[in-house]
Amino acid sequence: MEDSIRLQAELRQKILEAKQILNIYKPLIDAYIVDFYRLNHWHNLSPSWIRCFTNIPISQLPELLTFECRNKETIVWPLTVLALRSLFRRLVHTREKEASLEHQTKPICVYQQQATLFQKSVKLKKRHEIEQFAFNCFSERALGGGRRTLVDIGSGQGNLARTLAYGFGFRLCCLEQNKSFVHVARQKDAELWRQVAKNNPSLRDSVIHPVHLHETVNLEAIDPEAFVQLLRDALNIEKEQQPDSPFQFGLIGLHPCGDLGPSLLRLFLACPECHFVKLVCCCYMKLTVVGMVENTPTPNERGFPLSEFCRKANLSLSYEAREIACHAIEQYREKLLRADYLELKVHAYRAAIESIIVRMRPDLRHAGLKSGIKATDVSFEEYCERAVAGLGIVIPREETHSDQTRHNLDHWEEVVKFYTLRLMFAPLVETIILYDRLLFLLEQGANARIDVLFDPLLSPRNHVITAFK
């Protein structure tokens, strides 16, 4: 109890300090990179930053995107940047995995024995996420905290559930709103099980197959009693159970996006049978916040803020801030380190195209350029053609080759520097969102914590929030 009170006080203090920083740098954080030329973002930086960053080579920028290690600093940054870096060191929740966790002994289980079967046709990123999430659930169980039954909401094609059931011996109930995903999940379960059982026939007596329900969880008003009844029916659990072993389950979610994450935390708190929750959340820009919908969202509809403290403090985060918090910081840092200049030019290409579009058709401002086109593979002209496909506009050659466009593209390094500066604040925004969630759980009496679960280079939304009651 005392620990929880101390932790709550610490989180409140950090959230307030972080928010003060975000307020000061709001114009930078809220500045879309696509508007770089149109709104002259470079000249909105402070004169001392412009002086410094005009002369700094791109190869020095990666330093700005990591602030945990001091002794590798090679640049004398402007004082404000130094001050920010020092504050980030204290306020930002680490994004690096504890070295001791990296080398934990792996459990002896079916997954370990038949890993290649489980990993077949699963992309490296997803494989890493599933493996780490499953090991983490397994170690909670070994410590006596996790129960055997897990409920995966927003389970997609059931990749995590399949691994947890056949590889780690959990009983799984999945709820997914997308019917075709549910169908694929059942098919993939059958395929994997056939091969796992062939190699290990003794499992036939003990395995519990995952149950996949095609269900949409009502985010605004989940009825905990009806929800538990749904689980009991799906898992065939008798209503009348022995009093010494009541039905309990853990709620899990791998990338429940937007408001789904906060709704699952509320479900955990509202449901006596839900013993623990474990979530890695994403897509913060999709969160419902005050001022976004016509009527003020009720506490149950709100995605941010959740905690009483942040609500009373009227804490808010702009869409742009929540959006930058979802970027892949470490992957961008790698691009800078690799000096992958052609790839780094993408933001400049897009900003140059946006300024042409807005000049020609102001109604198409922020209409959304196509992404996923590799600047390394195509010329600017071709990039332009592909990026506007679907917008109903053709950009003439005079525009792609105009003096203005050429001038813009010649200044691509400024775009990279500006983007890096904006990205530098992303972990602070994410920390506020994570700490608000942690505080919410602690305020409600749960025992909660945040750990780094994934390698941020492979999977940038890498924090897992775990709570018990």
Ligand X SMILES: C[S@@+](CC[C@H](N)C(=O)[O-])C[C@H]1O[C@@H](n2cnc3c(N)ncnc32)[C@H](O)[C@@H]1O
Question: For ligand X, which is the closer residue by CB, 178 or 248?
Answer: 178
User: Residue 278: in which H helix or E strand, if any?
Assistant: strand 274-282
Q: 106's torsion region: left (phi>0), alpha (psi -120 to 50) or beta?
A: beta
Q: Which of 155, 355, 400, 459 lies at the binding interface for ligand X (CB under 6 A)?
A: 155
Between 155 and 420, whose beta carbon lies closer to ligand X? 155
From 304, 268, 292, select the one nearest 434 (Cα to Cα). 304
Burial (CB count within 10 angstroms: exposed 0-12, middle 13-18, buried 19+), residue 260: buried
List, as one string, the DSSP characters of 95-119. -SPPHHHHTPPPP-SHHHHTHHHHH
What is residue 121's DSSP assignment? T
Which residues between 255 and 294 bind ligand X (CB under 6 A)? 255-257, 260
- Give the C-alpha separation, 151 to 236, whole Å: 14
Minimum distance from residue 264 beta carbon to ligand X (Å): 10
Q: How far is the CB of 379 from ligand X (least distance, A)?
A: 34
Please report whether residue 181 would count as binding ligand X according to CB under 6 A. Answer: yes
Name the minimum Å distance from CB 154 to ligand X: 3
Min dist. Cβ of residue 219 to ligand X (A)? 5
For 162, phi then psi, to 5°, come to -60, -45
**Residue 40 CB contacts under 8 Å (≥ 6 apart), including other chains:** none
Instruction: Check residue 154 for interaction with ligand X (CB under 6 A).
Output: yes
DSSP 277: E
Number of residues that bind ligand X (CB under 6 A): 18
- Min. distance of Cβ 210 from ligand X in angstroms? 13
Q: Which stretch binds ligand X (CB under 6 A): 171-179, 285-293, 399-407, 423-431?
A: 171-179
What are the DSSP calls for 226-274, one per residue? HHHHHHHHHHT--SS--TTS---EEEEEEEEETTHHHHHHHHHHH-TTE
Shortest distance (Å) from residue 20 CB to ligand X: 32
Give the residue with the Cβ less far from ligand X, 191 or 343.
191
Query: Which CA distances in Å does 269 have to 143, 152, 242, 265?
Result: 22, 16, 24, 6
User: Residue 336: which residues within 8 A CB-CB, separation 6 or more?
Assistant: 58, 59, 61, 62, 65, 344, 416, 420
Identify which of residues 191 and 443 has a Cβ nearer to ligand X in the complex. 191
Closer to ligand X by CB, 364 or 458: give it: 458
Q: What does the block give as tokens for 347?
A: 């933001």
Helix axes 260-270, 426-443, angle to 10 degrees: 20
**Among residues 146, 156, 167, 305, the one that binds ligand X under rule CB under 6 A:** 156
Position of minimal CB gap to ligand X: 154
Residue 176 touches ligand X, criterion: CB under 6 A: yes
**CB of residue 206 to ligand X, shortest distance in Å:** 26
The residue range among 134-142, 220-228, 249-257, 297-305 that interacts with ligand X, by the rule CB under 6 A, is 249-257
Check binding of 175 to ligand X (CB under 6 A): yes
Pattern of binders to ligand X over 211-240, x per CB under 6 A? -----xx-x---------------------
Residue 177 found at the interface with ligand X (CB under 6 A): yes
Distance, CA of 346 to CA of 330 (rounded, Å): 17
With contacts defined by CB under 6 A, name the span among 113-121, 155-163, 225-233, 450-458 that binds ligand X. 155-163
Q: Return the range that interacts with ligand X (CB under 6 A); candidates 1-9, 169-177, 193-201, 315-323.
A: 169-177
Q: Does 254 bind ligand X (CB under 6 A)?
A: yes
Smallest gap from Cβ 279 to ligand X, in A, equals: 10
Edge-first strand listing for the sheet containing 149-153: 211-214, 171-176, 149-153, 249-257, 274-282, 463-468, 447-452
Q: Site residues (CB under 6 A) for ligand X?
A: 153-156, 159, 175-178, 181, 216-217, 219, 254-257, 260
